[in-house]
Structure 1
Amino acid sequence: MTVAQRLHIVPGQFTVDHFPNATFPEDDDWIALVRAPEGLTVVRDASPFAETERWAGFYSDGAHSLNATGMLAALVGPLADAGISVFVASTYSADLVLVPEHRLKDATTALRDAGHRVETGAQPGPEAGA
């Protein structure tokens, strides 16, 4: 059963970096942090000078309970079926689903075909520290 969601494309682009020996970034210029035994993963707004892969983001328009099931699966399933890789940063209320920027159009089509409503207008994205 697919859980249809209303999504917004987050304005801007992101980078995803891995720092194997870090436990915290050297600056406050980040969107999401994940600290794991193998190091620190940092999601940031992409700099115009970034030479790493750029990612585009989808974020849910409405909060859902932590007890809600299938919310993330309803998004990543259609993207996987379309052969689109993802990176996800979950917040208390929703999930930031990143896809390679060059696959944004394909990802939008896959999500819409799965019954989700995807809006491209500028909407607030996840707050820093999400």
Structure 2
Amino acid sequence: MTSPAAQRLGIVPSAFAVQHLPQATFPEDDDWIALVRAPEGLTVVREAWPTGSGDRWIGLYGGGTGHELDVPGMLAAIVGPLAEAAIPVFVASTFHADLVLVPEPRIKEAVTVLEEAGHRVDTRHLRAPGA
């Protein structure tokens, strides 16, 4: 079933790490993709090292098919089906689109869920977990 907020998404070629730095107000380096400062500390999204430890996330992004800020339901149309499938997400929003991160081991399942919800996902950057 196609949603009125059906979107074209691409898989970002990088894998990401999401970190919580409880005492930081800014990271010590500039290798970050997104930052969110909150009372409990700093959340940092950065590219993950290929063989690094920790959880790796794969990003889905609107790929230039962004939307106006006042269009309702765009993010909900993506995270809703993923939530129904019990796939965790972490979201970093930009002015033009949302970067929706899903755990690397669940990316193929996430793509299937999103396509069944009416989204189109460009899988050319889909690779084996840990690659």
What is residue 99 of structure 1 aligned with on the other side? 102
Q: 2:49 aligns with which of 47, 50, 54?
A: 47
Amino acid at match of 1:96: L
Residue 84 (str. 1) matches residue 125 (str. 2) = no
Runs of 4+ in 1 over 6 A off after TM superposition: none
Aligned pairs (5 A) from 1:112-127: 112-122=115-125
State the percentage of identical aligned residues: 65
Structure 2 residue runs without a partner (length 5+): 126-131
Q: Given residue 114 of structure 2, which amino acid in structure 1 is its aligned partner?
A: L
Alignment of 1:1-130 (within 5 A): 2-61=4-63, 62-122=65-125
- Structure 1, unpaired ranges of 5+: 123-130
What TM-score does the superposition give when structure 1 sets the normalisation length?
A: 0.91
Normalising by structure 2, what TM-score? 0.90
For the residues of structure 1 that align with 2:33 and 2:4, how far apart are their CA atoms? 28
Q: Cα RMSD over matched residues? A: 1.0
Q: Which amino acid aligns with 1:101?
A: E
Structure 1 position 120, deviation (Å): 1.4
Q: How many aligned positions are there?
A: 122
Residue 48 of structure 1 deviates from its aligned partner by 2.2
